[in-house]
Amino acid sequence: MNKFISQMKKINLKFTLIFFALLLSLSSCSNDDGESVPDYGISTGNYFPLTENNKWWYLDDGEVKLISIGSINYFGDTPYHRIFNSNSNLESWMIKRGASYFQKSGSTFMDLGNGNTLFLGEYEIKILKDDVLAGGTWSDNLTLDVRVYGGGNPMSLPATLTYTSTVLERNVTETIEGNTYTNVIKVHMHALESVNSYNTTIESEYWFAKDIGLIKEITTSSSDNITKVSYLTSYELN
């Protein structure tokens, strides 16, 4: 079991958000806050343009990463935009509802060795709410679908993700590698991932520029205490 837990740390919820993150409640996870009427808010602008063929290039912890927008995929009657990440095979999608931006991550399998495989079901989180004032927050508590396969019947592991996002600043100007961005919203996300009572905390900061998208991401996980930085180097928007 200790080996399982060490492998689970590697799939901590850092989609984030990109992407994010990661990442809300669908068929494989549930929202525990009891909210019956979502408050999506009234948008103050476009902080992640979801037009097909939009492209962003990042320097991601020393490696070049390309994020691009693909075609629309439907989940039920809901249209999501497919997100492609040149540095990851994980499937993900995004949708904007009102002022709220959600990232959905697809289910994935991870080889644990010795004939064992870890399964993580799809999940979705709110990565940004562009009408929240500085100091304002949003949060959620998700129940995740985590299973281990191998040598018999699959074993389900109790797993949750709890996160709180806080707007640090908004409408600020930032310069990154000589490029100046205006109307920037900075968000800090504190996330706690618990798998079979093993806890991992993830501290992330995201900078979103109006009409451009994500321009910087800083993430630290308690699993390795390494801070990773990703920042925008160029982009092509349609």
* pLDDT tens-digit series, residues 134-150: 999 999 999 999 888 88
Domains (range + CATH), the chain: 2-236 (2.40.360)
Residues listed for the chain: 238
Q: What is the mean pLDDT of residues 184-197?
A: 93
Most confident of 8-17, 18-27, 211-220: 211-220
Give percent of the chain above pLDDT 90. 62
pLDDT band at residue 110 using 50, 70 and 90 as cut-offs: confident
pLDDT at 118: 83
Give just the sign of the alpha carbon dihedral 208, 131, 37, 165: positive
pTM of the model: 0.85
How many whole angstroms separate alpha carbon 212 and alpha carbon 181?
Answer: 9
pLDDT by residue (tens digit) across 34-90? 445 678 999 999 999 999 999 999 999 889 999 999 999 999 999 999 999 998 888
Q: Is the predicted pLDDT of residue 183 greater than 60, yes or no?
A: yes
Listing DSSP states for 56-112 in one string gives: EEEEETTEEEEEEEEEEEEETTEEEEEEEETT----EEEEEETTEEEEEE--EEEEE
As given in the structure block, the two tokens for residue 219 are 């993430």
Out of 33-47, 51-65, 90-104, 195-209, pick the least confident: 33-47
pLDDT at res. 2: 46
